[in-house]
Structure 1
């Protein structure tokens, strides 16, 4: 078994105690100078033992205390060394501070009971008021160090608990910060994708048409659409930059799009999808006098329609694209229905799949329901397949805030 190396402070205490004890012995200063039960040099044995036990005060506090108790009792049968008693009080203190929790809890009570017992026994034995001094000495040697050690240990444990709590709080704060940054980055990614993807897809499709078709009129029409989408894309980018700077106070916030702008959005989709043979229609059956939609719901619905129309322009087969909005029972229903096919008649733009993810995230943040996929309308063959996007959004202000 490997013996733990003593702490350097314990070595200093042991050496200092031994030298002080030898000094008192050399000066013939003893606690029990009149006792001659043992030779005078016998007082050095408990002194040396106790000094050696000081080396174990941190690494083995319980064995050191037990052996120290034997040594201090033996010291009373000699002429007595004050240093031995002082070092024993340090062993008692160290046993409470560095010992196991169970021992640290018991020692103050054990030493307190021992002090009371010693006082009562001394009074009954000597029947003199001066006998109370025996109890006082026992209390000073045993109970006092134990109580002091308990106070120090409790203070250290409280400080350690506070430190761990502070570290935990810092860790939770860092986790909250990371989550907030991640959520903000996801929000920015959705906004950037929804703002720019529509215009860039139209630019890609019409630039391909302008390069592949030799007609001057067709090229002029395509370039006109490219210019319009470029201007609108720049405006959207400026709006996003304005939103980002609004948090720092560098610019005034810019209003977010609402469902009032669906007409212009559908009209833009008609122009962008004309080259692919798409016909885009809007069916808004919401009541005219209905409640005003919360801003997050309006923005989410607008972005879902925008992204769905972008996907239709990029991927849908020629045919009719229908956008339907309805409000019933405090739930806003947004449906986009487009022809589904592997090939479209016009140029196509590549997709990354981030649009569906963004739409699903927007609906989930509002506590709604989202679905997207190919369905059949009852017509045989692939002509009967339609790509349907459906979102159910809570239109109640309280539901959104919750």
Structure 2
């Protein structure tokens, strides 16, 4: 279904709301479950406060099932209000499908992160042929000394997910803290609501999948501007993102392979896996339908991929396709590759499985981290930010380890 011409509630949510109004709470729950992921999400028993874009349907179902035990008007009204309150925490990471401002979790996505002495978190605006866009730039506290010593620092471009802001993304990923430790600059481009009502990067539009056009052109211009205006080592520029931001990071690596030395993809989608809204919605749910081969013979950009195997917003099939697409390009350009598999386990369970491909020198060129039991959230993130899972592995640390080992 194409909702691109207008902002409205998709039919399945409209149906659910009508059922709620008539007191049919269990039926409303079933409608949402069916249309969100095809089956009810696995229930989470962990007590950590994970902020995910997939609602805990098990709690909603428990609440609605009690309707059968008590059918009084007051009781139905109470359960309906309870269900409505829970719905306020329900939001979809769908591109431009609906205005979800009324369904937000209450997280202040513009709260300023802590900035240590002598560090800066600057506000900037870049005007280009693609329009005017805001961004935030983190400059570590040792930057002045590095300039004085004639050093040039790495730069990481961080692309937020839908409904997020640069500030929220900085808090959730803790990238500013890591920038202090590793002495690098971090730039957070901001997608305005004027470009997408939910602040999603438009990864599914053909005009935003090409070099020299749309959002890729602006992001490339911003990257170039930071390189020219600050003491940046142009050979150590990296790009990473979450969800829609991760999909756009893949697009940037595909179209500007000489600009970026590495790409980090968290809960993202393969290059050109969708070309419009209907195909984007389908791809998010079940992955691309056609074999996804590299679109060109451009230079391979080293890539690290993270995806939760309980992601009911962007199916893990997409993470697999990102990996497979990158592997095809790597295998076409490199010989002597070796594949290694690792597991990160505790006494209770294995949290992640990693598939790694190294070049003939033993340097990791492509990594795929399948995070067991995780939803659509940044692994190892700060719970003060949105879409974060405080449990490991720490995606931010692993990304920087991967980038700086190239």
Q: TM-score, normalised by structure 1?
A: 0.27
- Which has the higher relative contact order, 1 or 2, with Cα contacts under 8 A spaced 6 or more apart? 2
Higher strand share: 2
Q: TM-score, normalised by structure 2?
A: 0.27
